């Protein structure tokens, strides 16, 4: 450094120039390295999970770097971000790529949903660059994102009955049987597929009628489950040993090949477009149909705004258990082929008084 100063060079100026010369590719590679080292925090101030890291790396390598990799960070503007978003929506990065898995491939399609999520990730990467002193402003701020229709597919009651018969038909199949049980449990709980696939017996609280998930999407989460789920888990425990509720092959592994199995199971059936997410959404929709509040539904399915996350919760509110019993009982009945009689609630005052009196232990007139 003294030699540089003696030659009339300013090391501080050179470091500043080096920071400004950083390309998008270089920044992304450093971001990936820090993310894999657990230095990039996600929800709740926790390091990102392996699956999230894998998804983020995919978006970086398949969308961001191909379109912006050679550009210098300091030269990126909001119009550049707008053009990037349009290119991803238009499918400019559409490609079929090989993955590290044996005979694996990734089909990159683009579209509005991919664009929105990629721009969100890129916004985080630029914030990372600001914290590193590379840039002063985030070019993604204020960007107008396209409207994206959230997946709202839900099962009708007739489709639930079709699903129940389909799962029953393969329940004794050596390959599809265990995957059918996973699908049924997702339908009865509204859990995410990863939460059920990786469910451990140590997370099952039969007496508390809940699942004490140690590592859900929202962190540690206590999930109330209904009596049909408790009955199933009690019976399954008698048949299975090991760590996982749904064991796979080999030494104490969770079951594998689930995505391929449910897709094949539903192919060429009226449920060809049903996914585990549809089952989760349908559970929440039925809970709403049955009159439960948004916060109760959020607690049932482990949504961020209503998730019961405290590790010190030993017993759940009876209201949540009742809600879980009601929704899972309703779904189980549909899966078993039951058709419900439609009841309407008449809003005249006498009918309402009678309904209140029916709830009382002693038949005291309501006045």
pLDDT digits (tens, 9 = 90+) for 56-103: 999 999 999 999 999 999 999 999 999 999 999 998 887 655 555 545
User: 68 and 200 share a domain?
Assistant: no
User: 231 and 282 share a domain?
Assistant: yes
% of the chain with per-residue pLDDT over 70: 80
* Residue 265 lies inside a defined structural domain of this protein: yes
Per-residue pLDDT, 46: 80
What's the rounded Cα separation, in Å, for the pair 226 and 210? 8
Task: Check which CATH number belongs to the domain holding 34 and give it.
Answer: 1.10.150.130
Residue 7 tokens read as 């030659």
Per-residue pLDDT, 42: 80
> 113: exposed, middle or buried (C-beta count within 10 Å: 0-12, 13-18, 19+)?
middle
User: 209 and 64 share a domain?
Assistant: no
User: 91 and 176 share a domain?
Assistant: no
User: 169 and 123 share a domain?
Assistant: no
pLDDT-derived band at 218 (thresholds 50, 70, 90) equals low
* Residue 358 lies inside a defined structural domain of this protein: no
Sorted by sequence, the CB contacts under 8 Å of residue 67 that are 6+ apart come out as: 84, 87, 88, 92, 93
What is the greatest pairwise CA distance in the chain? 99
User: 216 and 328 share a domain?
Assistant: yes
Q: Please give the residue that has the higher pLDDT: either 248 or 189.
A: 189
Average pLDDT, the chain: 84
What's the average model confidence in pLDDT over 210-216?
A: 87
Q: Which of 24-28, 97-101, 145-149 has the lowest average pLDDT?
A: 97-101
Q: How many residues does the chain have?
A: 367
User: 190 and 115 share a domain?
Assistant: no
User: 32 and 97 share a domain?
Assistant: yes
* Residue 341 lies inside a defined structural domain of this protein: no
* Residue 28 lies inside a defined structural domain of this protein: yes
pLDDT-derived band at 283 (thresholds 50, 70, 90) equals very high
What's the average model confidence in pLDDT over 170-181?
A: 91
pLDDT-derived band at 36 (thresholds 50, 70, 90) equals very high
User: 191 and 331 share a domain?
Assistant: yes
101: Cα within 13 Å, side-chain hemisphere: 6
What does each C-alpha distance from 193 to 46, 190, 197, 281, 301 come to in angstroms?
21, 9, 6, 12, 12
User: 209 and 282 share a domain?
Assistant: yes
User: 197 and 324 share a domain?
Assistant: yes
Task: Check which CATH number belongs to the domain holding 262 and give it.
Answer: 1.10.443.10
Per-residue pLDDT, 44: 67
Q: Which of 131, 149, 175 is the last residue of a domain?
A: 131
**For residue 332, pLDDT beyond 80:** yes
* Residue 145 lies inside a defined structural domain of this protein: no
Q: Which of 36-50, 188-202, 219-233 has the lowest average pLDDT?
A: 36-50
Domain that holds residue 127: 2-131
Q: Please give the residue that has the higher pLDDT: either 361 or 183.
A: 183
Enter the pTM of the model: 0.66
213 pairs with which residues across the strands? 221
What's the rounded Cα separation, in Å, for the pair 231 and 189? 13
* Residue 320 lies inside a defined structural domain of this protein: yes
Closest CA to 140 of 130, 132, 154, 150: 130
User: 57 and 118 share a domain?
Assistant: yes
**For residue 357, pLDDT beyond 60:** yes
**For residue 33, pLDDT beyond 80:** yes
What's the rounded Cα separation, in Å, for the pair 305 and 222? 14
* Residue 13 lies inside a defined structural domain of this protein: yes
CA 143 to chain centroid = 25
What's the rounded Cα separation, in Å, for the pair 191 and 196? 7
Per-residue pLDDT, 355: 73
Q: Which of 59-73, 125-139, 200-214, 329-343 has the lowest average pLDDT?
A: 329-343
What's the average model confidence in pLDDT over 272-290?
A: 94
* Residue 147 lies inside a defined structural domain of this protein: no
**For residue 234, pLDDT beyond 50:** yes
Per-residue pLDDT, 112: 86
Residue 215: how many CB atoms within 10 A of its CB?
Answer: 15
Domain count, the chain: 2
Measure the CA angle with vertex 218, ends 215 and 222; round to 5°.
70
């Amino acid at each position: 450094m003294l030699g540089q100063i003696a030659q009339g060079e300013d090391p501080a100026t050179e470091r500043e120039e080096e920071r400004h010369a950083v390309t998008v590719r270089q920044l992304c590679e450093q971001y990936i390295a820090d993310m894999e080292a657990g230095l990039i925090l996600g929800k709740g101030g926790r390091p990102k999970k392996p699956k999230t890291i894998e998804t983020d790396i995919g978006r970086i390598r398949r969308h961001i770097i191909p379109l912006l990799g050679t550009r210098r960070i300091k030269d990126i503007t909001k119009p550049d971000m707008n053009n990037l978003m349009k290119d991803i929506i238009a499918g400019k990065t559409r490609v079929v790529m090989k993955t590290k898995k044996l005979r694996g491939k990734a089909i990159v399609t683009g579209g509005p949903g991919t664009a929105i999520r990629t721009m969100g990730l890129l916004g985080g990467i630029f914030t990372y660059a600001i914290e590193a002193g590379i840039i002063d402003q985030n070019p993604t701020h204020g960007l107008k994102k396209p409207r994206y229709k959230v997946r709202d597919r839900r099962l009708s009651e007739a489709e639930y009955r079709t699903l129940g018969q389909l799962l029953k038909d393969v329940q004794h199949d050596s390959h599809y049987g265990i995957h059918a049980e996973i699908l049924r449990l997702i339908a009865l709980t509204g859990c995410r597929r990863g939460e059920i696939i990786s469910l451990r017996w140590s997370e099952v609280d039969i007496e508390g009628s809940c699942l004490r998930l140690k590592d859900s999407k929202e962190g540690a989460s206590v999930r109330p489950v209904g009596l049909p789920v408790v009955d199933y888990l009690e019976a399954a425990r008698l048949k299975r040993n090991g760590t996982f509720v749904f064991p796979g092959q080999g030494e104490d592994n969770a079951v594998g090949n689930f995505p391929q199995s449910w897709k094949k199971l539903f192919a060429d059936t009226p449920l060809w477009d049903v996914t585990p997410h549809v089952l989760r959404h349908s559970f929440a929709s039925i809970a709403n149909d049955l009159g439960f509040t948004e916060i109760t539904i959020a607690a049932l399915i482990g949504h961020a705004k209503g998730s019961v996350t405290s590790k010190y919760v030993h017993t759940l509110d009876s209201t949540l258990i009742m809600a879980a019993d009601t929704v899972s009982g309703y779904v189980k009945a549909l899966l078993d082929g039951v058709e419900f009689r439609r009841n309407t609630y008449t809003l005249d005052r006498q009918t309402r008084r009678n309904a209140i009196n029916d709830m009382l232990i002693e038949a005291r007139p309501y006045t």
